[in-house]
Structure 1
């Protein structure tokens, strides 16, 4: 083995075991094998947006800290970084970051990651986008919805899932107002529902959504069910 080959092999072995790479601009984050990295289980959500702030929410598969960087340009040439407190099982490993100091009426691009509370290893980043509220009057577009997955009708992959949300997204709204019955904790989702015309609606099913919610885990599972939709 030549000296350059040996150095490359040592580098790859180090990356597999987990090493810090300050020269690549990643420090103090740690690179690790995929199975060792935290996983962001439910994507990222933004809400409560005003002209100067917004909340960013996500959920991890372990105890960790949510790290959010934001910029007004998608290239993140001058990102601002904010951290959450450490989340644990008591919070269902969910965390949120309150972004403050946002410029008004501006596109805000953000990337979110979880940092493992023990090892400091970072998850893969998840990218998002929002627009802060204006301070002067202008036309806005918003979409309205509610009553998600009720009366036994849940996520049907054969139908393409909850397609209404894709239709909403294509309208490029400033925000979504989700009003009422975000979940039906007392409405189980069966594997199949026979519609009035005799057709069969086939649902994606989960343990928590297969019965009336009676525990905290089952209530959380009802919310999590909606997030399974593509």
Structure 2
């Protein structure tokens, strides 16, 4: 299915990386649903800019996702064909302020698992009936390179994203028969999103110096990579994790 035939839901698109992802899909001609939880003003502005639809919903609440999908289907007159699970539970990439191994609480882990794993599962489950009817579906999860290279040990965030990779691969195995692919795109630190705004400049410089490209990937560059998994050129690719971090992680 070409981009101009797709209706794409980007969760957490009211700010940060999600905004860049929504713009990337809209630039290719897709119909875009801009999901947000609290960033109403920026989400509405983005939707107006790209000709999309902004819908408030908590991705962990099934009833709110039902309402979101219904609104999208009524607005665009078609089912959602493509889901980007991007939304992030509140988190700041500040290594100096992170919780250490001897003090981090299970509540912190639970918050990340709720936002990352439960949110992706809730959203995906609501999308499946429409995708099965269409005989086409693309689910793209946003991961991290930290579980391969924990340059900063964010225990709760990294564990939740590692679990999301496992869910990516089990869903791919389960849904391939329906013509639905499930993949992950994993980035490193991005210059700059709301979550990475607290990162000291010295950390950006250190990561840049460690990559073959000698720079830190931008949100727009990261968003470009997601387009591959929604494009016709990835029709036989599923259950994969593509690392987009300027070459920092090699496997």
Q: Above 0.5 in TM-score?
A: no
Greater per-residue helix proportion: 2
Bigger fraction of residues in strand = 1
Higher RCO (C-alpha under 8 Å, 6+ residues apart) = 2
TM-score, length basis structure 2: 0.27
| Larger Rg over CA atoms | 1
